């Protein structure tokens, strides 16, 4: 019986031993005064980092759009621009998996955009009730020149990006070049 208990407990212990302590990659003070912190934890078995985000005293995995998936990789982009945390990891050539986190002072709603593309984001559009992210379409999964991800406070993030050939209009948005 003791052997069975040890056999059941051993894999989590070994797995935990393979992971290093978490380190802070980027902290961003959001517009409402709160903070979002990106953290990485190195996993020796995978020779890659696993990522977490801490907000409001809670830490969760960085990529929450696919709850059954666990992403490991290396940082490809990590910035705090105009009170918005944006990051992406290289997790398997040629793709980047990333997140945009924004919280405005007006409504304190967390606006979150999850993306996965071959190119890194180029432009961030910040509106009063909407956040948009423009990514060059180098993968040609669609025939458009760009992929536009958006989060609207009223509806959230659509399931897929929209393919467009010209950047969106600047009207009503603060436009920030990311790279």
For 37-91, write each residue's pLDDT tens digit: 999 999 999 999 999 999 999 999 999 998 888 899 999 999 999 999 999 999 9
In this prediction, residue 142 carries a pLDDT of 87
Residue indicated by tokens 């432009």: 123
Instruction: Count CA atoms within 13 Å of residue 139 on its CB side.
Output: 14
Instruction: Provide the 10 A C-beta neighbour count for residue 163.
Output: 14
**3 state DSSP class of 137:** coil
Do you find a cis peptide bond into 40, omega within 30 degrees of 0? no
Query: Which pTM does this prediction carry?
Result: 0.87
DSSP H or E run through 135: strand 130-136
Cβ-count burial 89-98 (b if 16+ within 10 Å, e if not):
bbbeeebbbb
Average pLDDT over residues 3-20: 48
Nearest Cα residue to 174 out of 130, 126, 131: 126
Per domain, the residue ranges of the chain are: 21-177
Residue 3: pLDDT band (50, 70, 90) is very low
Residue 133: pLDDT band (50, 70, 90) is very high
Nearest Cα residue to 126 out of 142, 146, 106, 141: 106
Instruction: Count CA atoms within 13 Å of residue 103 on its CB side.
Output: 13
**3 state DSSP class of 67:** coil
Average pLDDT over residues 102-126: 94
Average pLDDT over residues 92-114: 93
């Amino acid at each position: 019986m003791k052997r069975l208990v040890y056999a059941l407990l051993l894999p989590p212990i070994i797995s935990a031993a393979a992971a290093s302590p978490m380190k802070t990659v980027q902290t961003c003070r959001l517009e409402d005064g709160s903070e979002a912190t990106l953290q990485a934890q190195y996993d020796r078995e995978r020779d890659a980092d696993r990522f977490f985000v801490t907000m409001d005293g809670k830490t969760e995995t960085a990529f929450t759009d696919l709850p059954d998936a666990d992403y490991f990789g290396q940082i490809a982009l990590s910035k705090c621009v105009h009170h918005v945390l944006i990051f992406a990891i290289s997790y398997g050539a040629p793709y980047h998996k990333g997140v945009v986190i924004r919280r405005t002072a007006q409504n304190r709603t967390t606006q979150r955009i999850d993306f996965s593309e071959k190119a890194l984001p180029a432009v961030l559009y910040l509106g009063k009730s909407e956040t948009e992210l423009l990514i060059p379409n180098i993968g040609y999964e669609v025939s458009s020149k760009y992929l536009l991800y958006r989060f609207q406070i009223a509806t959230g993030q659509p399931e897929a990006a929209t393919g467009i050939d010209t950047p969106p209009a600047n009207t009503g948005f603060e436009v920030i070049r990311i790279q």
